[in-house]
Amino acid sequence: MNSGFPRSLALGYLLALGAAVSYGGSQVVAKKIVEDVPPLVGAAFALFFGTIILGVLVARDVSHSNPAPKKAYFWAGLAGLFASSGVAAMFLALDAAPVVVVAPVISINPLFAILLSQIFIRRLERISWRLVAGAVMIAVGVSVITISRI
Amino acid sequence: MGILLAFSAAVLFAFSAILIRLALEHLRPTTSTVLSLLSGLVLVMSLALGFHWGVIKALSFGMFFWFFLSGLLNFPLGRFMNFSSVQRLGVSRALPVINSAPLFAATFAIIFLGEEMTAPLLIGTIAVMGGIILIVSEK
């Protein structure tokens, strides 16, 4: 690895791309699921199996982790509630408006995250024009891809 | 109403990313992922049971294979890598890259479902790749 690009960052980007590939694959599977059942049922059972699989895989790691402040557990639980509420809101939005309207609005969520990070966790996050421009380009590209597949 | 709901979804996803960034200051990605899944499961399963009990009772055995596959891709793989990348890169860098998922969905659909490559798809792909390169090249 190039000494100008720390290994930790490279691994971080690989993990982010890995997450994108996994989510991309899951969207293809979700398309098959929603042909037969309501999206909420598909999401609930996917969450159920996902929780069981991950729980089995990492039970030992979780049980041996160092104690953390209670607020950290609270943030993690609340993050799950927000993410799931986001999914529910997305399904309701898709029920109320066409994908061509909903997809571009949802694809700007990284821009909201950048904005919120500067409000709430500025000490942890550093942003630049290049980062914002990259996030805008991805949001535009994702909107175009999503709309083109309707 | 649809736009307002979509806007709410985008804000909720963004807040979720900020909250997990705070949690990851003290917790491992594994613990954070499990906790976020448990709280989400309670909410979504309650809604599903409440609104679609009739559908759930009539589910065929074959559907559970697809649920399992969806759960595997989305959570032990997707969300765990998502949280691990947020821990290493921060929300601002990780989230835009993770949100390129529709590009990979389109690629899989072309490979496995026989969908065609179109001009808008190509333009969108170039935009996404350009955005990722801009972010990754940022020091």
Confidence tier at B66 by pLDDT (50, 70, 90):
very high
How many Cα atoms are found within 13 Å in the side-chain-facing hemisphere of A83?
29
Instruction: For residue A119, give Cα distances in angstroms to A31, A86, A107, B112.
Output: 36, 20, 20, 42
Q: What percent of chain A has pLDDT over 90?
A: 21
The span from the CA of B82 to the CA of A83, in Å, is 13
Query: How far does A7 lie from chain B, in Å, by closest CA?
Result: 10
Q: Note whether B48 contacts A44, CB cutoff 8 Å.
A: yes
Most confident of A6-10, A14-18, A126-130: A14-18
Q: Note whether B20 contacts A75, CB cutoff 8 Å.
A: yes
Quick check: A23 pLDDT over 80? yes
In this complex, the residue of A29, A38, A108 whose CB is nearest that of residue B70 is A29
Residue with tokens 């890598």: B81
Q: What percent of chain A has pLDDT over 70?
A: 93
Rg (CA), chain B: 18
Confidence tier at B139 by pLDDT (50, 70, 90):
low
This prediction has a pTM of: 0.83
Q: What is the mean pLDDT of residues B130-138?
A: 86
Find the residue in B nearest to A101 (Cα). Answer: B3
Confidence tier at A3 by pLDDT (50, 70, 90):
low
Residues of A in contact with B98 (CB under 8 A): 16, 19-20, 23
Six token digits for residue B123: 């333009």
Q: Note whether A73 contacts B23, CB cutoff 8 Å.
A: yes
